[in-house]
Amino acid sequence: MPTTPSRTAGGTSRRRRGPRTWLAALPLLAFTGLCFGLPLGAIAFGAVTRTDPADGATRLTGEHLARSLQGPYLGSLIGSVQLSALTALIGGVLGVLIAQVVVTSRSTALRSAALTASGVLANFGGVPLAFAFIATVGISGVVTQLADLTSLGWSLYSFTGLTVVYLYFLIPLMVLVIAPALEGLRPQWREAAQNSGASGRQFWRHVGLPVLAPSLLGGFVLLFGTAFAAHATAAALVGGSVPLVTLKIADALAGNVLTGQENVALALGLDMILIAGLVMAVYLPLQRRSARWLR
């Protein structure tokens, strides 16, 4: 009895305040349109147009995009993709290993400590991380001096060095992403497989991996995107000795370069957005798919 009147009351009041609630979302939409849409539009517009300094006319051109895919710029894009793919692969594998050890351990203290630490470490990037590694394994770093790493051919300011540094925040990120999926693998499934005579390998081949696959791939893609977009760590660490697209963009923006060069920076920015967009287009559906199995 009491539910019926309240439901109609809610219905009418909802109809009445419909337009007003719509207004409450307006500032957010206007803000993102202005402060996010405008720069994006500027990137897209600048990447495909050229303003003639003589007559001030703006014409469409594919020149900047073409140049962003040539020579040192192409090299930096390839370098970024290689570094991101390598670190995402290593970070993904190690992250899964660690998460599996943590998830299957009987100690809940270890589990909560590891997950909290992962949450904290995954947010640790940028300048402080770079300096921590410089102090540790840089030229005059503590471990470098102790273990005499320089004579072993070690250099932090290289592709390998960057890989080691990036793994510091990528591994915890993978642990965070994959731990719920590993926890979602019910022991009952394993028991069911064993009772029907499946070996451990068969269980992983036909049950474990198919269930985990979206999360694994999603985690890899997320790590790739994170490594791809990282700039501060690399900027504080290597400056320009490793070709990375983020460093090239920063060079083109910061230095007083030739006219037209800033349009190449915009074109590189557009290239990055396209690659990152591709990554997210893979990641989001995968995340949704794995959420269906693992809850």
Partner 1 sequence: MAAMTPTAPDTEAPTRTPAQRRTASRPRSGASRGTGIWRGAVLALTGAYFLVPLLASFVFTVHVPGQGITFEAYTELLSADGFTESLLLSLGLAAATIALSLLLAVPALVAVRIGSPRLRPVVEIMCMLPLVVPPIALVTGITTVLRWGPEHLSRTPLYQTFLAVQNEKFPVVLVLAYTVLALPFVYRSLDAGLRAVDVPTLVEAARSCGASWPYVVLRVLLPNLRASIAGAAFLTLALVLGEFTIASLLGFQPFAVWIVSISGAQARMSVAVSVLSLLITWLLLLALSRAGTAPSTAAAAPATTSRKES
19-38 positions binding partner 1, by CB under 8 A: 20-25, 27-29, 31-32, 35-36, 38
By the rule CB under 8 A, 101 interacts with partner 1:
yes
Q: Which is nearer to partner 1, 120 or 192 (CB)?
A: 120
Query: Using the rule CB under 8 A, is 229 a contact of partner 1?
Result: yes
Per CB under 8 A, the list member of 65, 85, 132, 217 interacting with partner 1 is 132
State the nearest-atom distance from the C-beta of 202 to partner 1, in Å.
Answer: 17
Query: Tokens representing 100?
Result: 């599996």
CA–CA–CA angle 60, 80, 241 (5° rounding): 105
Among 72, 119, 260, 285, binds partner 1 (CB under 8 A): 119
Residue 88 in the binding site for partner 1 (CB under 8 A): no
CB of 19 to partner 1, least distance (A): 9
One character per residue 181-200, x = contact with partner 1 (rule: CB under 8 A): --------------------
Determine the angle formed by the axes of helices 261-293 and 38-48, rounding to 10 degrees: 130
Which residues does 157 contact at the CB level (< 8 Å), separation at least 6? 138, 237, 238, 239, 241, 242
CA 19, CA 37: separation in Å to the nearest integer?
A: 25
Q: How far is CA 48 from CA 51, 63, 123, 185, 239, in A?
A: 10, 8, 35, 49, 29
Residue 46 as a binder of partner 1 (CB under 8 A): the answer is yes
**Angle, vertex CA 14, rays to CA 8 and CA 16, nearest 5:** 105
Q: Of 8, 12, 42, 257, which lies in the binding site for partner 1, with binding defined by CB under 8 A?
A: 42
Binding of partner 1 at residue 217 (CB under 8 A)?
A: no
Say if residues 195 and 127 touch (Cβ distance below 8 Å): no
Binding status of residue 69 toward partner 1 by CB under 8 A: no
Site for partner 1 in 236-265 (CB under 8 A): 236, 246, 249-250, 253-254, 262, 265
- The only residue of 73, 220, 224, 228 in contact with partner 1, by rule CB under 8 A: 228
# residues near partner 1 by CB under 8 A:
79
Compute the CA torsion angle 14, 15, 17, 21 (nearest 10 deg): 80
Note whether 126 binds partner 1 by CB under 8 A. Answer: yes
Contact code string over 149-178 relative to partner 1, x by CB under 8 A: ------------------xx--x-------
Q: Distance between CA 211 and CA 98 in Å, rounded?
A: 19
Question: Exactly one of 176, 270, 286, 290 binds partner 1 (CB under 8 A); which one?
Answer: 270
Q: Would you state the structure tokens that stand for residue 88, as one six-digit string?
A: 């995402």
The residue from 97, 149, 198, 207 that contacts partner 1 (CB under 8 A) is 97
Minimum distance of partner 1 from residue 141's CB (angstroms): 7
Which amino acid, 140? S
Phi, then psi, of 52 in degrees rounded to 5: -75, 120
CB 31 within 8 A of CB 19: no
